[in-house]
């Protein structure tokens, strides 16, 4: 055990330097500057003076009706997307758990949405949900589920459902694969022991599988919540937040502030999102007793 070794320290520093520089300069610096701007009047189209205005931006944002709509929509977007991604993903994971012929090939095919960007997925579903020429209307008409075309993306009542459908389509496979990995981490001996005890499949699932993967599931779900919240790409190209703000989520709202050039307000929204995420994460980790069960 050498306490200090110059060559070793130099090697470590040189290896880490490029990464640290890039992340500091192009991630942390702009994030911090954005946080400072939250307390400034900072409009791209009037940079003659950028005075500090305290909580002015927060007051302005919180006073805006669209902010609250976006916040409510964010709740729906995250909770409903997550619900379906989780349960459909879980079901798929259980079906894929045992090895069968062609499983690798099957996984390769169902994985393909992950090669696409949220932007392209949004476009794809925008075309399929089209009120006049959309294939979804056509299929629903043909099967007799509806008797009149629906303007899915044109009506505030349907637009959120539509973007969530697209998001679920995108996210289920990945959830399934994460959960599958978790399921495979359960030691086989536990099931063998349960078999010897004569426990049914259902009881095994409940008393062996679930307790064993609970912590992992809790973590995957948390990551997913953050991820879905930070995923405005699909909504951006599918509805642009419309109609009438009905599919605006907090991150599309944030992007609109940036495009509008009001970096002060964008900073305020960003900080509010960050605060929300952090307090939620702390609450969540506590609620799932994450620390203790490790």
Half-sphere exposure of 189 (CA within 13 A, CB side): 0
Measured in Å, how far apart are the chain's first and last C-alpha atoms?
Answer: 31
Structure tokens at 36: 């400072």
- Angle separating helix axes 250-259 and 65-97, nearest 10 degrees: 130
Under rule CB under 8 A, how many of the chain's residues touch other proteins? 91
Please give the Cα distance from 39 to 55 (Å, whole number). Answer: 6
Does residue 113 belong to the site contacting other proteins (CB under 8 A)? yes
Does residue 285 belong to the site contacting other proteins (CB under 8 A)? no
Does residue 70 belong to the site contacting other proteins (CB under 8 A)? no
Please select the residue that binds other proteins; options are 240, 243, 280, 285, rule is CB under 8 A: 240
Please select the residue that binds other proteins; options are 45, 48, 112, 202, rule is CB under 8 A: 112
Please select the residue that binds other proteins; options are 52, 127, 206, 283, rule is CB under 8 A: 127
Question: 21 or 79, CB closer to other proteins?
Answer: 21
**Residue 86 near residue 170, CB atoms below 8 Å:** no
Q: How far is CA 190 from the centre of its chain?
A: 33
Please give the Cα distance from 284 to 35 (Å, whole number). Answer: 25
Does residue 289 belong to the site contacting other proteins (CB under 8 A)? no
Binders of other proteins in range 200-239 (CB under 8 A):
215-216, 219-220, 223, 226, 229-230, 232-233, 236-237
Does residue 110 belong to the site contacting other proteins (CB under 8 A)? yes
Does residue 87 belong to the site contacting other proteins (CB under 8 A)? no
Please select the residue that binds other proteins; options are 116, 140, 190, 208, rule is CB under 8 A: 116
Question: 72 or 103, CB closer to other proteins?
Answer: 103
Binders of other proteins in range 18-37 (CB under 8 A):
18-20, 22-23, 25-31, 33-35, 37
Does residue 125 belong to the site contacting other proteins (CB under 8 A)? yes
Does residue 56 belong to the site contacting other proteins (CB under 8 A)? no
Inter-residue long-range contacts of 109-117, CB under 8 Å, 24+ positions, other chains counted: 110/173, 110/176, 111/173, 111/174, 111/177, 113/169, 113/170, 113/173, 114/173, 114/174, 116/170, 117/233
Does residue 49 belong to the site contacting other proteins (CB under 8 A)? no
CA dist 62 to 30, 67, 150, 159, 248, Å?
23, 7, 34, 25, 15
């Amino acid at each position: 055990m050498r306490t200090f070794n110059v060559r070793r320290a130099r090697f470590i520093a040189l290896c880490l330097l490029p990464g640290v520089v890039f992340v500091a300069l192009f991630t942390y610096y702009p994030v911090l500057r954005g946080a400072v701007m939250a307390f400034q009047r900072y409009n791209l189209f009037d940079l003659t003076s950028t005075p500090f205005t305290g909580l002015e931006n927060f007051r302005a944002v919180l006073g805006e009706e669209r902010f609250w709509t976006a916040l409510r929509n964010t709740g729906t977007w995250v909770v409903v997307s997550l619900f379906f991604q989780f349960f459909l993903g879980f079901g798929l994971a259980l079906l894929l758990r045992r090895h069968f012929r062609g499983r690798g090939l099957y996984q390769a095919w169902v994985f393909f949405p992950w090669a696409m960007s949220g932007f392209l997925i949004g476009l794809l579903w925008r075309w399929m949900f089209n009120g006049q020429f959309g294939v979804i209307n056509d299929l629903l008409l043909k099967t007799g589920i509806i008797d009149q075309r629906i303007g899915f993306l044109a009506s505030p009542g349907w637009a959120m459902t539509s973007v969530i459908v697209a998001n679920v389509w995108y996210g289920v496979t990945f959830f399934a694969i994460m959960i599958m990995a978790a399921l495979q981490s359960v030691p086989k001996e536990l099931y063998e022991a349960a078999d010897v005890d004569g426990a049914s499949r259902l009881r095994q699932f409940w008393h062996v599988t679930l307790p064993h993967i609970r912590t992992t599931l809790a973590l995957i779900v948390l990551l997913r919540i953050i991820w879905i919240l930070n995923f405005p790409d699909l909504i951006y190209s599918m509805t642009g937040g419309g109609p009438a703000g009905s599919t605006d989520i907090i991150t599309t709202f944030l992007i609109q502030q940036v495009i509008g050039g009001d970096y002060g307000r964008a900073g305020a929204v960003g900080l509010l999102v960050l605060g929300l995420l952090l307090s939620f994460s702390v609450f969540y980790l506590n609620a799932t007793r994450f620390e203790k069960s490790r």
